[in-house]
Structures are given as C-alpha cells and as structure tokens.
Amino acid sequence: MLPQRKSNTKIISSTSRLSRSAKLSVAALKIAARAIYGRTRVKLLPKAKREAQIEINRRKASENFAQTLAGMKGLAAKLGQMASYLDESLPQETRNALAQLQADMPAMDYEVTSQVIYEQLGKIPSRIFSYFEEEPFAAASIGQVHRAMTKSGVPVAVKVQYPGIEKALNADMSNASMLFHAIGLMFPHMDPKPIVQELSVRLKEEVDYQIEADNQRLFETFYHSHPFISIPLVVDELTSTKVLTTEFAEGVRFSEILSWGQEDKDWAGEVIFRFVFRSLYSLCAFNGDPHPGNYLFTKSRKVTFLDFGLVKRFTPEESFTFNEMVRTMITDRDEEGFRKTIVGAGLLKEGANVSTEQVIEYFSTFYELVKEPKPYSVTPELSTKLLRTVMDPSSPVAKFATVPPAFVLIQRINLGIYALLAQLRATANWRDIAEELWPHVSAAPKTKLGELEQDWLSLRR
C-alpha cells in the first residue's frame, strides 16, 4: 500500500529563493539584536559574572543560528558545515554548535522516508528489506541515512534524499550568485562567474544519487583491497536517483578520535593526506566535500571514506598542471617556471603588475607542509593563515588572481584538509609522503603506511 505523507510534515523550512534569503537575513538580524541587548545586560552585571554571561549569550546565538541552517538544509547547511571546521578563529561555542551540522541535522518523518523509497524503488521499505530502522542514524544537508538489512542478510546504509531539496539548492545558488557578486566587489579583478558555474554543476550532480553511485564505484574499484582505506560497495539494485544503498560501515566519527592518543591522530592524518593526494594524482578525481562527517575510523587502523556526491574528475591536462605547480614551486624551486605555469592555468592574469617574488610569497602558503623534508606539526594557526591568505583582498597578488573552474574545488580541498590536520595536530614528514605520491618523483616509501601501500600497489600491477 502506498504510504501517505503527513500534510503538516515540514522537511525543509523553505525552498523559494526569497524565503530562504529572508530566513538567513532574519537569523543574522536576531544575532545582531541579541548581541546588542546582551552587551547592554552584561554591563549591568558585576565584573565577576560578565565573562560567564558573555559565553552563555554567544552559545545561545550560535545554537539558534545552527538550528536555522539545519532546518534550511541544502547549501545553507553546507556552508555551516564548512564554517564548523575551516575557521579556527571562530569562537569555540560557535564551532561546537555548527559541528552538529556534520551528521545530526533534523530528520524527516519515517512516513516521508517510506514514501520516497516507494516512489524510487517501487515498494515500501518492509517489502524491500528484511529490516529497516525507522530512525536515521545520520541526517545531513541533502538527505538522511538509515540502517537496514537486505533480504539476503547484508547490513546496508540507505541514504534517502529530502523531498524538495533540489528546489532549495537552486534557490540557494541564486542567492549564492549575489554572494559571489559581493565577493567580486571585494576582489574587483576576480571574475566570480566560473566559481558560480562550477559550484552549480557540482551541486546539481550531488542531488542525483546515480551520479554519486558512479563516483563511489570509481573510488571503490581503485581502492579495492587497500590496507588502510575502505570505500563501501554500492548495492546497485537498491539505488536510484534519490535513494542510495551501500554496504554498512562500522567506525567512530572524527570528533571521537580527537580524544585518542597523538600517535593515533598522526596515523589518521597520514591516511587522510594519502587518500587526498593519491586520489588527485593517480585517480585524477577527488571528493570536494572533505568535512569531518565523511570519515569513519577503527582501532584496527582502517579509515572508511563516505559521501561521493560532490566529486570533481580532472582531465589529464589539469592533473599535469597540478603536478607542474608542485615541481616548479617545491622540487625544482623554479620561481619563473611556477609563475608561467599558473598564468597558463588561469590562476594569475598574464602581465600582472606584481613581482615573481610576491607571487611566490602568496602561493607558497599552500605548500607550507611540503616545503622541507622534515617533520611538521599542523596547527590551527597554519590553517587560519591559509584561510586568511585566500580571503585577503589587500594582497597585491589577489588583485590579479582568479579561480578557474578546475581550481574551485581544489581550493576547498586544500582548506578542508589543512583544517582537519590542524584539529588532529597531526605531525609527519609530509614532504617525504608527498614525494611518494607526486608523479614526477614517485619516491620509495619512508613510513610504515607507505610500505603497506607500496605492497598493495605492487599487487595491482
């Protein structure tokens, strides 16, 4: 029997461009009003109580704003997710509130979930699965995930898309165009159109779970039997454009490993680093959504990577350019060669009225981890420095820099990985590890994980 949706079920708080823009504006105004009112009240308190009250006010404002983003879902929630781990300079209470957006947003009712599955797979969950948990164990910006068991006894995770999310994302992209116009005013020499177009294409792909399934198959095939990287298999017959079924993966989330010992956190950092750059240079693809909710860790020293909806596949020419930038900046220290490479890639305007020394100083921040072959501890200060470099319109180089389509998600990957490693305070000889992965070097492994990966690569050949 066809399940009926509840008439009063509100899955996404709004889907039109104007209403979503208004919600964000109202939320921001409420925060501003609370701040003014809060500051006035705090001044009336004894000095000893002021700091505690300020923290309470900040926490309440952050929680209210996070709730607004969670209810809106879509791009608004994604931006909240990014803010929760990218900017270490945000107050901790704000980061804590936004961190809830990584996996625990408000869920849709089971009746709605059942309806979506019926429309997509032709039957209600009880007719498809031997067991289906009505409460989701994770709810994110595009859909929510349920634990289930197939009729053949295989534990699976079933991701179900929120009805109306595509319309909401389209509205968000319209509002994002205004945001990027504002960025264009800050960076008058930067053309925001490629950024908007690239994000629009990637986000439209993300609401088609068949595309996500194809992406996940690509990564699972490449990393099959890997010693410390795992990608869940897609269950093809239980997957459609709005329902994605994969093998269920066990493990703890990123927030939990922050309480592990530093040796474990260094291990986790090296695995993430290897996955990012092995994928980029060997697979010519990468998941452009590297937030903490997309990783599961086990004490048996394995990391499962999840969510392949926002994947960018690079052309051989683009991958060659990434490698040339590393070769000229780091390996050969060819400053003029680096400038020529980024001009050719469209990152810097030809004839830009800045010295090559200024260009190197600006872009070298992105290569901080791999400048020298020695142990390097990634700190929140470094992560924040990178973010500030990207967002600083006062730099003489920024006036002539732009972001071509191929680099839109690369920037997000760079910022995201630095932020994750900073939270781990991960230490490693990143240069040695990178030289294993860079195609122009392909050095012998110098870490235990490198040796394990080398054995795996030997078996693939």
Q: According to the 3-state scheme, what is the secondary structure of 369-420? A: HHCCCCCEECCHHHHHHHHHHHHCCCCCCHHHECCCHHHHHHHHHHHHHHHH
> What does pLDDT average to over the chain?
79
Last residue of a domain, one of 66, 84, 102: 102
Last residue of a domain, one of 39, 72, 102: 102
Is 164 or 114 the better-scoring residue by pLDDT? 114
Question: Is position 302 within any domain?
Answer: no
The pLDDT score that the predictor gives to residue 156 is 98
The pLDDT score that the predictor gives to residue 11 is 53
Q: Is 252 helix (H, G, I), strand (E, B) or coil?
A: strand
**Per-residue pLDDT tens for 24-58?**
444 444 444 444 434 444 445 555 554 554 455 55
| Region of poorest pLDDT, from 41-50, 233-242, 332-341, 412-421 | 41-50
- The secondary structure of residue 331, as a DSSP letter, is I
The CA–CA distances, whole Å, from 378 to 161, 389, 448 equal 36, 16, 20
Last residue of a domain, one of 68, 83, 102: 102
Q: Looking at the predicted structure, is the pLDDT value of residue 196 above 70?
A: no
Q: Between vectors from CA 400 to CA 378 and to CA 380, what angle results, nearest 5°? A: 15
| Most confident listed range (89-98, 175-184, 254-263, 394-403) | 254-263
Question: Is position 442 within any domain?
Answer: yes
Q: Looking at the predicted structure, is the pLDDT value of residue 401 above 90?
A: no
| Region of poorest pLDDT, from 148-157, 221-230, 271-280, 387-396 | 387-396
Q: Are strands 311-313 and 143-150 parallel, antiparallel or unpaired?
A: unpaired
Residue 32: Cβ within 10 Å count: 11
Question: Is position 148 within any domain?
Answer: no
The pLDDT score that the predictor gives to residue 164 is 82
Q: What is the DSSP string of 275-320?
A: HHHHIIIIISEEES---GGGEEEETTTEEEE---SSEEEPPHHHHH
Question: Is position 260 within any domain?
Answer: no
Question: Is position 58 within any domain?
Answer: yes
The pLDDT score that the predictor gives to residue 291 is 76
Residue 9: Cβ within 10 Å count: 12
Q: CA–CA separation, 155 vs 450, rounded Å?
A: 31
- Confidence band for 276, pLDDT divided at 50, 70 and 90: very high
Question: Is position 415 within any domain?
Answer: yes
Question: Is position 358 within any domain?
Answer: yes
Q: State the residue range of the domain holding 371.
A: 312-460
Of the chain, the percentage scoring pLDDT greater than 70 comes to 69
Average pLDDT rounded to a whole number, residues 372-396: 84
Is 123 or 391 the better-scoring residue by pLDDT? 123
Question: Is position 88 within any domain?
Answer: yes
pTM: 0.77
Number of structural domains the chain divides into: 2
